[in-house]
Each structure stands twice: as C-alpha cells, then as structure tokens.
Amino acid sequence: MTNTHNLTFFLGGHDLEMLTIRELLDENGIPYYDKGLSWGAKASDYKEEIKESIRLAHIPVLVELIDDMDISQQKVIIIDHDRPTSLHQVFELLQLPNEKWSRWFELVAANDRGYIPEMLKIGAAREEILEIRRADRNAQGITEEQEKQGTEAVRKAEVLFDGKLTIVRLPHAKTAVVTDLLYPALSKNAYENLLVISPDEVNFFGGGSLILELNVKFPGGWYGGSLPEYGFWGHGRPTPEVSEFLKRRISDSICLKRTQ
C-alpha cells in the first residue's frame, strides 16, 4: 500500500478534470506543483522540482505529463488519461473511501473519458451536461470574448448536403465553443459531421471512417474518440484541401446510396 504522506503531485494541462484533481489534493492536504500548463505539458516543465522531490525521498506523481526526462519507473508514479480516468487513479492512489466519490466526480470523469456521449451513458441530465461543459471550457481558459465568437461563428455556419456536413470558421482554436453549441443531444441545429476551420489549425468531428481517411490523406495530425464509430481529427495545417476532400467524400457517399 502506498504511503500517501510520501507523495508529491505534478499537474499537467488544465481542464476540468485537472482542476478537480487539484481540489481533491487541497482537501486532503497532499502537496503538489501546478504551473497552470496547457495540454501537451511535459515532465521537464517541472524538471528541478521533480529532482528535488526525488532527492528528499518523496515519490513524484506525474499527472498527464509526458515523461521526457527518462525517469526510472521505480522513482515516480505516472498517471495518464486512459481507462480508468486520471481522476479515478488519483482517488484510488489517495486511498479515499468509496462514499467520497461524488456525482460531480462521476460526471467529470465521464466528460474526460468520452465527452458528452459518456455523460449520456451514465444518465446525465441536460442541465448537468451543460454545467460540466461550461466548467470545462472555463478550466481551459476560454474567455467570454471567445465564447461570443463561437456563437457568432455557429450563426454563420455553412450547412451542406442536407445537414451531413457543417463548416464553421472560427477566429481561434478553442473549438469547444462550437462543438458544445452544436452537439446533437443539446442542439436543434445539431451536426452529423462538423469541420471547424481556425487560422492555425483545422478540426473535424464526425464519422469514424472519415476520421481514418483524413488521417491517411493528411498525415501529421491528431485523432481519437470512439472509433471506429465516431471521433475527432485535427491538423496544424488548415489547408483548403481538407474541406474539398470532405465535400467530395460525402457527396460520393450520397450518390452511392442513391444508386443502391
């Protein structure tokens, strides 16, 4: 059994789950470092603090930090956002009683594990989902101005192929201000496939087959989600070819269905 008094936590990129973990550590008097990092945070962001922790015979716990320091697995505990979620792993590591696991924790974990679909799976009400998503956007540092820009971008959305493809042009890359507004379970203007074009990147949310095709056609990006059924894909090169590729593929799919 791990001695919790020997643990020192190092927190990764901010989102609702990470801030919930920080609150949990505060409530239980567990020491931690939090530099307010963004997604993609690395262990080396805490290089000196981790070295000092090891020197003091403490056990560093890296929460969603890329281990780019080649630290021996015997000297640290690495918590990654996989199943179970980081929040579940931290809760277990702190040896907290089951009755301390709250409805809020369950919603936060579901949101991190699989966004709105996972919250729906655990029976979340619309109000609960809206509250969690609002809190997550706030935790990610999304500003009121960016929220307004998202609302305006959605208002000007281009809807093609009888709703099978929605294209939104957003002046920043905080896509949650668009996806939360248009998610099928929350909006009458729901999308089937959504392309969000920002100045420095492009993001797609939709069918799994299209996700995988985009990953092959435009290598070097990122993708994930509940594949092969549904997921997301993104790239730091927002070229016009992405939207043209999607229009062609969806058009071809519609034509194929009509001939069957």
Residue 237 confidence (pLDDT) above 60 = yes
pLDDT > 60? residue 101: yes
**Domain boundaries along the sequence of the chain:** 4-116, 144-259
Query: What residues pair up with 196 in beta bridges, in sequence order?
Result: 168, 203
d(CA 146, CA 101): 33
Whether 94 shows a pLDDT value over 80: the answer reads yes
Mean pLDDT for 75-93 is 90
If you average pLDDT over residues 106-113, what whole number do you get?
Answer: 94
Phi, psi of 224 (to 5 degrees): 175, -160
Nearest-angstrom CA–CA distance, 260 and 256 = 6
Q: Is the pLDDT of residue 238 over 80?
A: no
Model confidence pLDDT, tens digit, residues 182-224: 988 888 778 899 999 999 999 999 999 999 999 999 999 999 8
Which CATH topology does 4-116 take?
Rossmann fold (3.40.50)
More confident residue, 83 or 117: 117
CA distance linking residue 156 with residue 150, whole number of Å: 10
Q: Is 166 strand, coil or helix? A: strand
Q: Which two tokens stand for residue 177?
A: 């201000």
Q: Give the CATH architecture of domain 144-259.
A: Roll (3.10)
User: Which segment of 44-53, 89-98, 223-232, 233-242 scores lowest on mean pLDDT?
Assistant: 223-232
pLDDT tens for 4-58 read 889 999 999 999 999 999 999 999 999 999 999 988 899 999 999 999 999 999 9
Distance of CA 3 to the CA centre of its chain: 31
Cis, peptide link before residue 84, omega less than 30° from 0: yes
In whole angstroms, what is the distance from residue 80 CA to residue 58 CA?
20
Query: pLDDT at position 188, please?
Result: 79
Q: Tell me: pLDDT of 250 over 80.
A: yes
- Identify the band that residue 257 occupies on the pLDDT scale cut at 50, 70 and 90: low
Of 143, 119, 123, 9, the residue nearest 64 (C-alpha): 9
Is 71 a residue whose pLDDT tops 70?
yes
Whole-prediction pTM:
0.84
pLDDT tens-place string over residues 114-173: 889 899 999 999 999 999 999 999 999 999 999 999 999 999 999 999 999 999 999 999
Dihedral sign for Cα 136, 142, 148, 154, please.
Answer: negative
Token readout for 106 is: 């369950």
